[in-house]
Chain A
Amino acid sequence: MSRKKFIESLRRQSTDLENHVIDEYLSGYIDRRQLLRHGSVFGMASVLGGIIGAGAAGSRAYADGKPGGTVRVAITTPAGAIDPILVADSAGGTMLQQTGEYLIIDDPDLKLRPVLATGWKPNVNADIWTFSIRKNVKFQNGQPMTADDVVATFERLSDPKNASNALSVFQGVLSKGGTRKVDDYTVAFHLDAPNGNFPYYVSSDNYNAIILPADYAGDFQKNFMATGPFKLDKYTTNVGASFVRNPDYWGPQALPDRVEFTFYTDQQSQILAMQGRQVDVIAQFSVVGGQALLNNPSVNVISLRSSSTSQIHMRCDMGPFQDKRVRRALALTLDRVGLIKGLFHGTADLGNDSPFAPVFPSTNSSVPQRHQDLAQAKELLQAAGVSPGTSVNLTTEQFLEIPELAVIMQNAAQSVGVTINLKLESQSAYYGNSTFGQSDWLDSQMGITDYAHRGVPNILLAAPLMSNGTWNAAHFKNKDYDSLVGQYVKALDLQSQRDISGKIEALLLDESPVIYPYFYDFLTATVPNLKGVQPNASSLLFLDRASFT
């Protein structure tokens, strides 16, 4: 069959939406990578494989190494119990995912890869998404996994009575009662509102969403019972965990015989352990304090682009920041290229004062990049009537590179005559109760807050910036912005998303309620003779294809 005829036959099998994605690719609007990534949102893996002549689902297509061996991993001590409903930290998420599996995995290139779901499709309005569930999958107790288990998992996570950590993710997207069984292997998600990126919400991006048995009794920490390629050998609170190969796994057998996680309370001892060859992998490290691992020939660093950032908010409803020219002026004082070099040894992308990180395909790169311009900053301050010596208060948290960034921001502002009074707090003091009036994060005049990676910008566009956003520390209220975000969330095709993101980016550059100076890479270290370790920026660590050479 000729390529043309083949595409025609694919078109006949595809929905309107899928045909639109095929058109975008054929007309050159999106390239091959973007086609794979965006097509994956609509569950088009099998269709796309035919067009581009490559398996769309096989981003982890490693040449398999030898089976056997024990992979030793250093990881930060999980903050709490390994409970899929409650876990809120990255190390806890990594633990869940060693034996647990998601419907979909959001791969490092932000492409969705089917795991326990084999396919998914939206309806025309994108407010009902129907998922086909993989057959012949068994939980580690031998019980088969069906649609009932998937429905129970998402009903549990979206139930307000359960103190579920996924509630904030599902807010306004999926409510209890919205996940419905169609047949034994089909589940339909009836959403609160149309959402063009919904598959990300049930993917590994939402690390609470591992599929558990319908009769799950809340005792995950005892047995880690799920469907994955490894099963629990031993878990000791605050000490570590070990896993062995699951011989009944539905997919390819894991290569390592065993993986051992050792918990560390700080990064320095993890680095010393790697230098002393007591571990083979450091699941995640930051450049601050982790310089010894960079440019070290005996360490292999895996660097993944991400949307992780530190947001510098300025309160739009009080003091000099009520005038957007003052906010813009401060944003213009930062030397972002220098920041990336100094704080991250170059392992970060430039931020352009919007949540649209360069890593997102929907980011509109035609919007001009903001660079340091002290002359313009001074002009803006003068025009706004801000006299030299004006002082503002910046409150922030002691976390990763943030204290250094705060001092750099202070010096940069000083260069245009604005004095920043710094207040550094512990994380718990900074976040407080995380509600307006009871949180330095949400109440401070100016602050810096860490935001972890997300596969799509949706939640970063909404909670920290929309008028009713629960994390809106900048107290930014703009109807045009709210409406644009509403349109963006509904948009299904990449072209529409990019058109809207261009408008959002321009609006945020003009208003500048929050400075996004950079988006830093997710870093993992391994010993050089270990291949096949695959981290992703959502703090997942896949070890099933890992092998020593």
Chain B
Amino acid sequence: MKPTVFLAKRLALCAVTLWILSVIVFLGGQLLPGNVGRAILGPLASAQAVATINHQLGVDRPVLIQYLSWIGHIFEGNLGQSYALQVPVSSLLGPALVNSLKLGGEAFCLVVPISLLGGIWAALRVGKFSDKVITLVGLSVSVMPEFISSIILILIFGIWLKWLPIAATWPEGASAFTQIYYLILPSIPLTLVLFGYIARMARAGMIEALESDYARTATLKGLPGHIVVWRHVMRNAMMPTITVIAAQLGYMIGGLVVVETLFRYQGIGTLIFNAARAKDFPVLEAGVLVIGAVYTIAMLIADFLVTFLNPRLRAQGGE
């Protein structure tokens, strides 16, 4: 299969995935308790006021009509207006997505090299002291919830040592370096959570590849150790790890509610969480779709990378 056909097929599948997601989110939103007007006006507002605002927003129409009207606007590029906040959804979603990509990006740049190095190092020294330390530390920190590690980090580096700012929101007009500096502290809890998982996958992949026949053959034909590892072992060892990393991207972009809350950071996770609580469907639906899109794109890139690394898959056109 030609790469263009492969890409077109995958993109079509992505579009179907996102459409199914939009239906699920829309219907799921209808199952949330309470109604929109009540969420806006609070529990003690009069029933008449609630009915009036529901009518003004059009949420008293049949669900199918609401869905069609919403999806129609999406195709026109209009994400709608937030029910609760009375501003265009795009004005909320755009900055939040950029913020999330920045935080996710910085955490990604920290966690991926550290975890890969840790995993490879551990695999090359299976059963030795450093392997045990990496495995044990990785497991221990990955079971520590972010709200614990975040508070410990804030207390140590933000309040006692005063090395790093405790809120991740940088001053207006800050340079890229300042932004990176503000994001160091919130990136660490994410690194801690993911380090154990990614390092373990890298370690397992490496061990399997190191024990393989082709690695033994490469060693026996007299290749130096680093060439064996770099050229023969790594390629095969990294494939499952790449898929695992790609699968974590959705979480790193959209699932950081706890970290965003504790570090007072306006990311897409918090935006969606608050929208769900407030029954602010336009924000909720657009937000979930955006995260869904990021996730499917990440998986697409991972598929490409795996295909590129694996000659067998390449020959079959990624099938």
Is B48's beta carbon under 8 Å from chain A?
Answer: yes
Question: Is B159 a contact partner of A237 (Cβ separation < 8 A)?
Answer: no
Among A107-115, A261-269, A474-482, which stretch is in contact with chain B? A261-269
Question: Which residues of the partner chain B approach A431 to less than 8 Å between Cβ atoms?
Answer: 34, 38, 43
Interface residue A14 (Cβ < 8 Å from any Cβ of B) = no
* Cβ–Cβ < 8 Å partners of A441 in chain B: 43
Q: A164 within 8 Å of B by Cβ?
A: yes
- CB neighbours (8 Å) of A391 from chain B are none
CA distance A77 to B273 in the complex (A): 13
**In this assembly, does A4 line the interface, its C-beta being within 8 Å of a C-beta of chain B?**
no
Judged by a CB distance under 8 angstroms, whether A81 is at the interface is: yes
Report chain B residues within 8 Å CB of A168.
44-46, 49
A490–B252 Cα distance when bound, in Å, is: 60
Contact A238 B35 (CB under 8 A): no
Q: Are A434 and B43 also in contact (CB < 8 A) when A161-B52, A269-B263, A272-B158 are?
A: yes
- Shortest CB-to-CB span from B122 to chain A, Å, is 35
Which parts of A113-151 form the interface with B (CB within 8 Å)?
A: none
Chain B residues 263 to 286 lying within 8 A of chain A, measured CB to CB, are 263-264, 266, 270-271, 274, 277-279
Assess whether A265 is in contact with B33, with CB atoms less than 8 Å apart.
no
Determine whether A83 belongs to the interface, using a CB cutoff of 8 Å to chain B.
yes
The reply to whether the CB of B101 lies closer than 8 angstroms to some CB of chain A is no
Give the residue of A79, A237, A276, A433 whose beta carbon is less than 8 angstroms from that of B278. Answer: A79
**A163 contacts B86, C-beta separation under 8 Å:** no
Given A163-B53, A221-B86, A238-B85, the answer on whether A433 and B34 have CB atoms closer than 8 Å is yes
Closest chain B CB from A386 CB (angstroms): 32
Complex-state Cα separation, A264 to B264, whole angstroms = 6
**Beta-carbon contact of B49 and A237 below 8 Å:** no
Asked if B110 is an interface residue, CB under 8 A from chain A, the answer is no
B37 sits at the interface (CB 8 A): yes
The reply to whether A88 and B41 form a contact with Cβ atoms under 8 Å apart is: yes
Select which of B46, B264, B266 is within 8 A of A273 by beta carbon.
B264
Tell me which residues from 502 to 519 in chain A have a Cβ below 8 Å from any Cβ of chain B: none
B4 at the interface (CB under 8 A from A): no
Is A86's beta carbon under 8 Å from chain B? yes
Q: List B contacts of A429 (CB < 8 A).
A: 33-34
- Chain A nearest CB from B95 CB (Å) reads 9
Give B137-159 as 1s and 0s: 1 = Cβ < 8 Å from A's Cβ atoms. Answer: 00000000000000100110011
Say yes or no: B87 contacts A163, CB within 8 Å: no
A168 to B91, CA, bound (A): 33
Are A88 and B42 in contact (CB-based, < 8 A)? yes
B84 within 8 A of A: yes
Indicate if the CB atoms of A163 and B37 lie closer than 8 Å: yes
- A433:B53 contact, CB within 8 angstroms: no
Given A265-B274, A273-B166, A275-B159, check contact A237 B40 (CB 8 Å). Answer: no
Is B180 engaged at the interface, CB distance under 8 Å to the other chain?
no
Report the bound CA distance from A542 to B34 in whole Å: 34
Query: A291 in the interface, Cβ–Cβ < 8 Å?
Result: no
How many residues of chain A have a CB within 8 Å of chain B?
Answer: 45
Interface string of A154-194 (1 = CB under 8 A from B): 00000011111101100100000000000000000000000
What CA separation (Å) do A433 and B60 show in the bound complex? 14
Give A196 to B92 CA distance when docked, in angstroms.
46
Q: Assess whether B84 is in contact with A265, with CB atoms less than 8 Å apart.
A: no
Compute how far the CA of A262 lies from the CA of B167 in the bound complex, rounded to whole angstroms: 11
Contact at B40–A428, with CB atoms within 8 Å?
Answer: no
Whether B262 is near chain A, meaning CB under 8 Å from some CB there, is yes
Q: Size of chain B's interface in residues, with CB distance under 8 A?
A: 48
Q: Does B23 contact A (CB under 8 A)?
A: no
- B39 contacts partner chain A, Cβ-Cβ < 8 Å: yes
The listed residue (A160, A262, A265, A428) touching B39 by CB distance below 8 A is A428
Residues 435-453 of A at the B interface (beta carbon under 8 Å): 435, 441
B56 in the interface, Cβ–Cβ < 8 Å? yes
B85 partner residues in chain A, CB cutoff 8 A = 80-81, 237-238
Q: Which residues of B contact A435 (CB under 8 A)?
A: 47
Scoring B35, B86, B166, B271 by chain A CB atoms within 10 A of each residue's CB, the highest score goes to: B86
B45–A165 touching, CB < 8 Å: yes
Please give, as numbers and ranges, the residues of chain A lying within 8 Å of B53 by CB-CB distance.
86, 163
Of A89, A160, A268, the contact of B42 (CB 8 Å cutoff):
A89
Q: Is the CB of A162 within 8 A of B52?
A: yes
A249 within 8 A of B: no
Let me know if A278 is at the binding interface, CB within 8 A. Answer: yes
Contacts known (A266-B261, A275-B159); A428 close to B277, Cβ less than 8 A: yes
Binary interface encoding of chain B residues 11-44 relative to chain A, with 1 for a CB under 8 A from any of its CBs, else 0: 0000000000000000000001111011111111
Is residue A471 contacting chain B, with contact meaning CB distance below 8 A?
A: yes
CB distance from A235 to the nearest CB of B (A): 10
Task: List, in ascending order, chain B residues with CB within 8 A of A83's CB.
Answer: 86
Q: Give the complex CA separation of A254 and B132 in angstroms.
A: 63
Contact with A along B75-90 (1 / 0, CB 8 A): 0000000001111000
Q: Which of B165, B266, B270 has most A Cβ within 10 Å?
A: B266
A532: Cβ under 8 A from any B Cβ: no
A167 touches B49 (CB 8 A): yes
Assess whether A167 is in contact with B46, with CB atoms less than 8 Å apart: yes
Partner of B166, one of A79, A221, A276, A426: A276
* B135 CB–A CB distance under 8 Å: no
Query: Complex Cα distance A129/B87, Å?
Result: 39
From known contacts A238-B85, A272-B154, infer whether A262 and B264 are also in contact, taking CB-CB under 8 Å: yes
Contacts of B271 in A (CB 8 A): 238
22 A-B pairs with CB atoms under 8 Å apart are A81-B84, A86-B41, A88-B40, A88-B45, A163-B52, A165-B45, A167-B45, A167-B49, A168-B44, A168-B45, A221-B86, A237-B91, A237-B92, A238-B266, A265-B270, A275-B159, A276-B166, A426-B33, A426-B277, A429-B34, A432-B34, A434-B45
Q: A164-B49, A276-B158 are in contact. List 14 more A-B contacts (CB 8 A).
A: A86-B40, A168-B45, A221-B86, A237-B85, A266-B262, A269-B262, A272-B262, A273-B167, A278-B167, A428-B32, A428-B34, A433-B35, A434-B44, A470-B46
